Amino acid sequence: MIKVNVAEVKAGLSTYLDRVERGETVVLCRRNVPIAEIRPLPKLPRKERPVGIDRGMKVPNSFFEPLPDETLRAFGIDDERS
């Protein structure tokens, strides 16, 4: 745990934040009287992301068909198929 006065933290905030990221706690003081603490947040466990798509997923053939004219117009696309 480090005790520092507010003026010191203002001058070198990034230095103290680096120390907090490494696990240290910084006690902020005003005229050497503690007023606050900056502590690292608990690290959340990382969840593994699934690789690939759902193995049982089926893409219907209609997925590959052209979009209806009204949908194309909604996106500002003129019908160039005719």
Query: Phi/psi of residue 81, each to 5°?
Result: -80, -20
Distance (Å, rounded) from C-alpha 1 to C-alpha 6?
Answer: 15
Q: Choose which CATH entry (3.40.50, 1.10.3230, 3.40.1620, 3.30.70) describes domain 2-38.
A: 3.40.1620
pLDDT at 80: 59
Distance (Å, rounded) from C-alpha 20 to C-alpha 37?
Answer: 10
pLDDT tens-place string over residues 8-58: 999 999 999 999 999 999 999 999 999 999 999 988 888 877 766 677 778
Q: Where exactly are the structural domains of the chain?
A: 2-38
pLDDT of 65 higher than 80: yes
Distance (Å, rounded) from C-alpha 6 to C-alpha 72?
Answer: 59
